[in-house]
Amino acid sequence: MSDIFEKLLAAVPGAKRAQQGVLFPLEDGGVFHLQGIISDKEMKGLTQDETFFLAFCSKNEILRLRSLNTCHDYLLHIRAMSIVDEARLCRVFRHRKTKFKQWSLSKYYDSKIAAKHLYIHGLPLRLSKIIRPMASGLAMIKEPNASCRNSVLGTVVVVSESLEYLLYFMNLGFYGPRLGIPPENVLPSLAIALRILLGVESLDFDLDPRGKIPNHIDHQIKRLTLYQMAFIYGHEYSHHLLGHLVPDSLDSLLTQNNFTPLNFSGSNSINYQQEFDADYFSIMHIENNKKLQQNLTLSAIHLFEYFDFLDAILFKFNKKKIFNSLTHPSHSDRVTNLINRLDSSTRPDPSHLADLHSVSNDLREILISSINENSKANLLDMYGSVYLPTYINKPKRDRIDF
């Protein structure tokens, strides 16, 4: 394929090499981006519409999408449909494909299971036997969210990659200074998280990571994120284990929007007590590992503090709220309920909670002031990306450098 690109570069005036493929100038000043070439063999037996999935699915997976027969097919459907109409996400997955000898979308996500396995490995055998066969995992869904769905094909748990990105940058903003990052990176980190929530920050961190964090700091931030994601999986699994889910038909699942931001359970669960119970039992289902219980508890409290932080910013600037008050209790109520129900050996030190809340309040005011002072930059809506100033020399050029 590289030979074909070389011939095109030589034959077409003004053509430029892109990070993926070739850019051709158009008369109106735009560009045409040729990212790859599909062979007749790859296309054989597929409809024209189905060929769009070849950028990120194997041919066998595309054929599976024609008729969903299992919960794993349904999870594949969610993953594929979240990518197919997003040109930038297709570029992300083309990049991811280069690291696999034999690619499939499912194989890729099978390599991203650390958080759910951390949780499942902590369950007693009788519960892990129920959870392991379920279709569950990440998907590149734009809205930061987790959802548990019960269909005629079986129960499916989906956690969006955008939520994992959001938590990484929230952790970096809150804990980075303690780990040694220069303070001028704090507000950009929080701004990236906020923009992910608003849907205006591109989810192309594989291609353009916004800055190279030192490995020892990156490792510790990822560890915080890992336990928070494990709690999220545990919360969704608990909805299933506690019998909270009302069965949906497959047709209704394929036609409705299941991913309201940060609802943590989709639309099946509409009872506050069910949410409280799912929070509590996501920790208590881990019966024989006190350390994991404690880490999950701290992770849950961090999650809810972060969501309160983000909600306050959104409220200040008249943006949408994170949670649906008709179906979910407030984040502060969830913290209170969780702490009151846990025993003293699992409950975190009150001083830690006070310190976390104090840091959150301080950062909230600083970020609000920064947004107000830089209103012309339109941080909450601007097209493009926010970068970590001390960890990047200069922003990369879209399509040329990444």
Check residue 257 and give its pLDDT.
Answer: 45
User: Residue range 131-151: average pLDDT?
Assistant: 93
Pairing type for strands 16-17 and 22-25 reads antiparallel
pLDDT digits (tens, 9 = 90+) for 7-29: 777 778 877 787 777 777 887 77
Check residue 236 and give its pLDDT.
Answer: 96
Could you tell me if 380 and 194 are in contact, meaning their C-beta atoms sit under 8 angstroms apart?
Answer: yes
Band (4; pLDDT cuts 50, 70, 90): confident
Indicate if the pLDDT at residue 103 is higher than 50: yes
Question: Domain residues of the chain, as ranges?
Answer: 4-34, 44-103, 112-391
- CB burial of residue 259 (10 Å; 0-12, 13-18, 19+): buried
Check residue 250 and give its pLDDT.
Answer: 56
pLDDT digits (tens, 9 = 90+) for 195-245: 999 999 999 999 999 999 999 999 999 999 999 999 999 999 999 999 988
pLDDT digits (tens, 9 = 90+) for 384-395: 899 999 998 777
